[in-house]
């Protein structure tokens, strides 16, 4: 009987196991993880800390699910991969033989060699262990410093804020997440952070983390010489592929595990997917896709290959969503922080500073290529369809009602947006409808 072994039980590893089992009822499947025995929703970790969920609520499947589907779970860390003998070695002295191997080891928080970064009370936030450590490190404290912006940083800020711990953000860019967001959206997020009574230090970098005589963090020192007292430091300046065990093997790595479009490594019968995979792109920069949904899509394609139907991974049109405290964020297609050559943009922002829409489109044919929205919900499939069909910005504006997700409960702002566009471009576009998700249910 063939044996499929998967290292990592995140969304990618778990999806591979489930999809392979759906197709092949005979293959033996083993999933190894040293983080937790059972698969859980990583994006829900923050809500455990905030008291809105318990750990058991984050597990999409009951514990009996795995035995019922004959997926063996091994709670252990892999310490060595021998591809010559197709053997894995674990930290509890197990030897596990495989016929096919999937490396889905995920990410780890970045560290950049700052002095004092290993002091007590300094940590990243990615894993279940990080959550447990954060519980310990934040007991009884009053002031925390977060190094780096972005989506993980804002999650940690909200977590700390929920326990009335004052937060100071250190962000090296001119605007919050300014390396990703256009200036207007980045300013909107920055203002919202300040409204929530957090301190935001822009264009400020960490020089050193200062510890007391017991090795516990007591302050941070910036490159400008400012000392900021604190009892906790969160390192949220991005993540990197967790490939330490792979580097010691014959599997080819760069920053991540190198794979082709079929998620195959240089070693036969060895594959990689998810956060740790680095997809080689001919003539271009290699690609990382460290999102929940891309990890799942990669796993679905890979499962077909493992089951004999060699399948190329095709992501399709990019999208993402997140929250900045109580402002929801969506992005579809590609929106650069600075307009690229041949692009034009329409940006509208409500006077309350908490709702905005940006449409990016081609200068010549006006075909939409990307959108951002803050505080306004749209239907993912609708914008994906419009971008794929190369609809014009004028078409999108007039038919924006098709994309509303729940207009019966929230303001949609479509009329304001179309009036703004008409005024700016001397057009006479008309919003054709306001039918949204719930309205269509009752058609």
Look at residues 380, 298, 291 and name the one whose alpha carbon lies nearest to residue 331. 380
> Residue 227: inside a domain, yes or no?
yes
Contacts (Cβ under 8 Å, ≥6 apart) of 231: 121, 141, 142, 143, 144, 216, 217, 218
Look at residues 44, 20, 47, 42 and name the one whose alpha carbon lies nearest to residue 31. 20
Distances from the Cα of 55 to the Cα of 40, 128, 276, 293, angstroms: 8, 9, 25, 21
Structural tokens at position 324? 């900045």
CA atoms within 13 A on the CB side of 313: 31
3 state DSSP class of 310: coil
> Residue 311: inside a domain, yes or no?
no
* 68 shares a domain with 51: yes
pLDDT at 85 over 60: yes
Over residues 339-383, the pLDDT tens digits come to 999 999 999 999 999 999 999 999 999 999 999 999 998 999 999
Q: Which of 207, 237, 267 delimits the end of a domain? A: 237
Q: Which of 306, 330, 352 delimits the end of a domain? A: 306
* 431 shares a domain with 363: yes
Look at residues 369, 372, 383 and name the one whose alpha carbon lies nearest to residue 324. 372
What is the spatial distance between Cα 436 and Cα 255, in angstroms, rounded to a whole number?
Answer: 43
pLDDT at 171 over 90: yes
Look at residues 272, 240, 278 and name the one whose alpha carbon lies nearest to residue 258. 278
Over residues 178-208, the pLDDT tens digits come to 999 999 999 999 999 999 999 999 999 999 9
* 221 shares a domain with 140: yes
Longest dimension (CA), the chain: 73
Determine how many CB atoms are found less than 10 A away from the CB of residue 309: 10
CA dihedral over 415, 417, 422, 428, signed as positive or negative? negative
pLDDT at 295 over 70: yes
Arithmetic mean of pLDDT, 421-438: 70
* 424 shares a domain with 344: yes
What does 30-59 look like in DSSP terms, one character per residue?
EEEESS-SS---GGGHHHHHTTS--GGGG-
Distances from the Cα of 329 to the Cα of 77, 257, 402, angstroms: 36, 30, 19
- For residue 436, report the phi and psi dihedrals to the nearest 5 degrees: -120, -165
Arithmetic mean of pLDDT, 48-69: 96
Structural tokens at position 65? 């699910």
State how many domains the chain has. 3
> Residue 114: inside a domain, yes or no?
no
pLDDT-derived band at 320, boundaries 50, 70, 90: very high
* 375 shares a domain with 282: no
Minimum mean pLDDT range among 240-244, 321-325, 399-403, 426-430: 426-430
* 265 shares a domain with 247: yes
Over residues 148-167, the pLDDT tens digits come to 988 999 999 999 999 999 99
Evaluate whether 207 touches 215 at the Cβ level (below 8 Å).
no
pLDDT-derived band at 438, boundaries 50, 70, 90: very low
Arithmetic mean of pLDDT, 36-61: 95
CATH number at 179 reads 3.50.50.60
> Residue 333: inside a domain, yes or no?
yes
**By CB neighbour count within 10 A (0-12 exposed, 13-18 middle, 19+ buried), where does 240 fall?**
middle
pLDDT for residue 296: 96
Q: What is the signed CA dihedral for 383, 386, 387, 393, rounded to 10 degrees?
A: -100
Q: What is the signed CA dihedral for 410, 416, 417, 422, rounded to 10 degrees?
A: 160
Q: Which of 306, 332, 354 delimits the end of a domain? A: 306
* 281 shares a domain with 168: no
Secondary structure E strands in 191-336: 199-202, 206-211, 217-222, 227-229, 232-235, 239-241, 257-259, 270-272, 277-279, 319-324, 327-333
* 93 shares a domain with 155: no
The DSSP symbol for 400 reads G
Evaluate whether 125 touches 156 at the Cβ level (below 8 Å).
yes
pLDDT for residue 407: 54
Evaluate whether 430 touches 418 at the Cβ level (below 8 Å).
yes
Please, what is the average pLDDT of the chain? 93
> Residue 113: inside a domain, yes or no?
no
What is the spatial distance between Cα 176 and Cα 138, in angstroms, rounded to a whole number?
Answer: 24
Contacts (Cβ under 8 Å, ≥6 apart) of 426: none
Domain of residue 298, residue span = 3-108+240-306
Which DSSP helix (H) or strand (E) runs through 29?
Answer: strand 28-33
What are the residue ranges of helices labelled H in 6-127?
A: 11-23, 45-49, 64-68
> Residue 174: inside a domain, yes or no?
yes
Cα of first residue to Cα of last residue in the chain, in angstroms, is 52
> Residue 350: inside a domain, yes or no?
yes
Contacts (Cβ under 8 Å, ≥6 apart) of 344: 360, 361, 362, 363, 366
Secondary structure E strands in 38-160: 71-75, 78-82, 87-90, 95-97, 100-103, 107-109, 122-123, 143-147
Structural tokens at position 203? 């264009």
* 147 shares a domain with 104: no
pLDDT for residue 401: 86
* 69 shares a domain with 41: yes
CATH number at 375 reads 3.30.390.30
What is the spatial distance between Cα 393 and Cα 368, in angstroms, rounded to a whole number?
Answer: 5
């Amino acid at each position: 009987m063939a044996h499929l072994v998967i290292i990592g039980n995140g969304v990618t590893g778990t999806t591979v196991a489930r999809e392979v089992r759906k197709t092949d009822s005979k293959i033996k499947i083993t999933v190894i993880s040293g983080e937790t025995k059972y698969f859980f929703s990583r994006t829900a970790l923050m809500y455990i800390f905030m008291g809105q969920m318990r750990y058991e609520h984050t597990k999409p499947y009951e514990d009996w699910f795995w035995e019922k589907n004959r997926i063996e779970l091994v709670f252990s860390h892999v310490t060595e991969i021998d591809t010559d003998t197709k053997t894995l070695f674990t930290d509890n002295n197990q030897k596990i033989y495989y016929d096919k191997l999937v490396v889905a080891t995920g990410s780890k928080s970045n560290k950049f060699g700052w002095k004092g970064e290993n002091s007590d009370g300094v940590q990243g936030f990615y894993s279940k262990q990080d959550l447990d450590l954060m519980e310990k490190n934040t007991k009884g404290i009053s002031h925390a410093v977060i190094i780096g912006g972005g989506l993980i940083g804002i999650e940690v800020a909200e977590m700390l804020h929920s326990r009335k711990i004052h937060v100071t953000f250190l962000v090296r860019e001119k605007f919050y997440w300014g390396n990703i967001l256009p200036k207007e959206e980045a300013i909107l997020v920055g203002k919202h952070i300040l409204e929530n009574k957090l301190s935001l230090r822009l264009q400020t970098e960490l020089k050193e983390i200062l510890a007391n005589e017991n090795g516990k963090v007591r302050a941070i020192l910036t490159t400008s010489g400012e000392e900021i007292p604190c009892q906790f430091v969160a390192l949220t300046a991005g993540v990197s592929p967790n490939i330490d065990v792979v580097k010691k093997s014959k599997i080819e790595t760069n920053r991540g595990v190198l794979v082709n479009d079929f998620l195959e490594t240089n070693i036969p019968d060895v594959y990689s997917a998810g956060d740790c995979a680095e997809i080689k792109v001919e003539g271009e920069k290699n690609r990382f896709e460290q999102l929940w949904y891309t990890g799942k899509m990669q796993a679905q394609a890979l499962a077909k290959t493992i089951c004999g139907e060699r399948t190329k991974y095709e992501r399709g049109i990019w999208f993402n969503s997140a929250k900045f405290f109580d402002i929801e964020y969506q992005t579809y297609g590609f929106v650069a922080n600075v307009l690229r050559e041949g692009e034009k943009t329409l940006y509208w922002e409500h006077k309350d500073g908490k709702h905005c829409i940006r449409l990016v489109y081609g200068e010549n044919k006006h075909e939409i290529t990307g959108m951002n929205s803050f505080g306004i919900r749209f239907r993912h499939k609708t914008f994906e369809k419009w971008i794929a069909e190369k609809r014009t910005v004028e078409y999108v504006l007039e038919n924006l009602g098709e994309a509303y997700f729940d207009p019966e409960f929230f303001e949609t702002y479509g009329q304001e947006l179309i009036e703004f566009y008409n005024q700016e471009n001397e057009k006479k576009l008309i919003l054709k409808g306001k039918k949204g998700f719930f309205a269509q249910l009752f058609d």
